[in-house]
Amino acid sequence: NMRFEEGETKNDKTLAKTLASLADIFINDAFGVSHRAHASVEGIAQHFDIENKAAGFLLAKEIKFFYHIIEEPKRPFVSIVGGSKVSGKLEALYNLIPKVDKIIIGGGMAFTFLKALGHEIGNSLVEEDLLPEALKIMEEAKQLGVKFYLPVDAIIAEEFNADAFAKSVTIQEIPADWMGLDIGPASSLLFAQAIEDAHTILWNGPMGVYEMEKFAKGSTKLSHVVAKSYATTVVGGGDTADLVRRTGDEEEMSFISTGGGASLELIEGKVLPGVKALIIE
């Protein structure tokens, strides 16, 4: 494991040169780490001529797939964005809004958007400093005619615990000392209807705390709906990939990315350091 090597994560030039001296040709096929400017990923490539370095088949496949999905999608193009925090998906949302026809927001990050709209969300996860950004994102979607979907109900509990008592309520009825940990049944139905006519679906992030059985139904239902869709379906992000394997929908998806952070950076529109190093003399 290269990260145990001193200097790997700091992209140490001496380590990169030493690694490069071991071979005449460098092939990067590690998509999952290509967003990291590390010695064995980015630094090493600087020591090879353009003719002696290249992307492996997996890396090339990932890059091409994400490019075609994001830049040349079959429409309607629906993006499903979940996970716990808006901060982790902010750049991705800004890059996606001008390109998609619909955006579905779920997971803990949905509560920041809901609070920005004036909803009382109890003890649900919220990023107070990003409330203005949430409003800005929703306003941009509105200006561009992008349909923006948020949960209309939630599975709530008094504590973040697999054994906690859970119940379903509308977003307007979340008590002050309760927290939302999954989307509710009405949201599952709404989101299913939203992707019914999709020709391309890009999914990154679960709808709730899917690791806990009580709060996994929203993510599980969505996984089944996406799997049964006739659309080209792309799953990005480690948690989402893990989820579709748990639900048994893995084989029904068109493409499951092997990278978590790497796939997110592609969705953000960034050039990965490990890829850029392959195309520089």
The rounded distance, in Å, linking the Cα atoms of 79 and 102 is 6
The DSSP H or E segment spanning 256 is strand 255-256
* Adjacency order of strands within the sheet including 179-183: 166-170, 153-157, 179-183
Question: In this structure, are residues 120 and 111 in contact, taking their beta carbons and an 8 Å threshold?
Answer: no
Output the pLDDT for position 57: 95
DSSP states along 79-111: EEE-SS-STTTHHHHHHHTTT-SEEEE-STTHH
Residue-wise pLDDT tens digits, 126-171: 999 999 999 999 999 999 999 999 999 999 999 999 999 999 999 9
Relative orientation angle of helices 217-228 and 238-246, to the nearest 10 degrees: 80
pLDDT surpassing 90 at residue 254 = yes
pLDDT in tens, 206-250: 999 999 999 999 999 999 999 999 999 999 888 999 999 999 999
Determine the pLDDT at residue 281: 58
Q: Are 172 and 165 in contact (CB under 8 A)?
A: no
d(CA 8, CA 207): 35
Q: Which residues contact 49 (CB under 8 A, 6 or more apart)?
A: 281
Domain boundaries of the chain, sorted by first residue: 2-60+271-276, 75-230
pTM score, two decimals?
Answer: 0.91
Q: Give mean pLDDT, residues 255-260.
A: 86
Largest CA distance in the chain: 64
The model's pLDDT over 4-46, given as tens digits with 9 standing for 90+, comes to: 898 999 999 999 999 999 999 999 999 989 999 999 999 999 9
* Bigger pLDDT: 269 vs 82: 82
Per-residue pLDDT at 267 exceeds 90: no
CA separation for the pair 174, 179 (Å, rounded)? 7
Angle at 208 between CA 207 and CA 210, to 5 degrees: 110
- For residues 196 and 3, which has the higher predicted lDDT (pLDDT)? 196
Residue-wise burial string across 192-229, b where 16 or more C-beta atoms lie within 10 A, e elsewhere: bebbeebebbbbbbbbbbbebebbbbbbbbbbbbbbeb
Looking at per-residue confidence, does 71 or 21 come out higher?
Answer: 21
- Report phi then psi at 204, rounded to 5: -140, 105
Q: Is the pLDDT of residue 266 over 90?
A: no
**Topology (CATH) of 75-230:** Rossmann fold (3.40.50)
Mean pLDDT, rounded, of the chain: 95
CA distance 55 to 141: 36
